Structure 1
């Protein structure tokens, strides 16, 4: 039976997806995660997304802590997922106060800047007709290659990631249609790495951080898969 998976990464204009089905590598783009899955238009076994799934209430997530350890010196590329009470606040100062009230520490502007994407996925997961899992591309690339690669925004880093993906059968064309026009190079590479992890999840080869996902008040298992 053919397995079809989708790796997803956020980009400035929306979401970029890389679909793998064992035969072809397809790229897609859409402004929302629901639209992206609809654009793909085919039944999917797993969708892997580089965005937090399962928001904590009063503390950090074990998933983020373990994933940071797994990346060693590059662990800072994984930000600590903010609590739900902070994510729902549109105003940064209000979000910062909510975070401090819940955890004793504030929320970074970078984390707060992702709130729209986090809430997009948070709303979609409740109605998604497919299994959604959280991934982190840097963790995927580290597992894929056995080493920490150069910065993804550097020429050397992009080349190393594209080479690593090709070795795994994920060959990205020079032109990816609308996705290639709307998403940055590192966004496409991250989506492809997410697809690689999604394929591992579908095959039963992936492991999660933590091995036993945490569950918060939203009821969704919080774990990063690789």
Structure 2
């Protein structure tokens, strides 16, 4: 299953085109498991949080997506994510890394920590992906249009279709709760999950980094 965060929670798409929604990551996975086993779960969220500086995975992902590099934000250090306000998080990040923290990255903090905690206890095989990296790998080059535009949506739909992944119009509550770009990103993630299951996915970096949390930090495609 491919998983992406959305405003109201989490959306998941399986390789047989089933859609799922959960207000939290545990409820999403639980609802999917009711319909069968999940061999690999590919999630668009940082897994493996640094303590002192940037991750190799993020830097490599920016190179892979080219003009879409702004879509890959630097994973915050763990101490910054634990801060109660953006101002506090920025101060912690600046003191430790020399750089502040974007509002977007801080806003995703709760979801990042949610997956961080869940991934420590689950028996499921979980990998990190970035949809723009998935799409660039799928198409063999940089994407032309932002995903928020109609042209970008059609560009990504075409890549998914060429890869044999077609999301039906009716995916139940997932289609009601998640945005178009969220569903397409989850579908891109399941493309990588399938590649991982077949043993052909590539990790960036090739040798994942390991931080104090014990997670392998790498973006797969």
Into which bin does the TM-score normalised by the smaller protein fall? over 0.9
Counterpart check, 1:26 vs 2:18: yes
State the Cα RMSD in Å: 0.9
C-alpha distance in 1 between matches for 2:156 and 2:70: 19
- Per the alignment, residue 81 of structure 1 pairs with 75
> After the TM superposition, which residues 1-226 of structure 1 pair with which residues of structure 2 at under 5 Å, given as runs?
6-20=1-15, 24-41=16-33, 42-149=36-143, 150-226=145-221
- Which ranges of structure 2 fall in alignment gaps of 5 or more residues? none
Deviation at 1:147, TM superposition (A): 2.8
Following superposition, the deviation at residue 28 of structure 1 comes to 0.5
In structure 1, runs of 5+ residues without a counterpart are: 1-5
TM-score, length of structure 1 as denominator length = 0.94
SS at the partner of 2:14?
strand
SS of residue in 2 equivalent to 1:48: strand
TM-score where L is the length of structure 2: 0.96
How many residue pairs were aligned?
Answer: 218
Q: Is the 8 A contact 2:64 2:142 kept in 1?
A: no
For 1:175 and 1:221, the matched residues in 2 are separated by: 35
4+ long deviations beyond 6 Å:
none
**What do the CA deviations read for 1:34-83 (whole angstroms, capped 9, x no partner)?**
11110102211110000000000001000000111111222121000010
Residue-by-residue CA offset, 1:4-57 (whole Å, 9 max, x unaligned): xx100000000000011xxx2101000111111101022111100000000000
How far apart in 1 are the matches of 2:12 and 2:22?
9
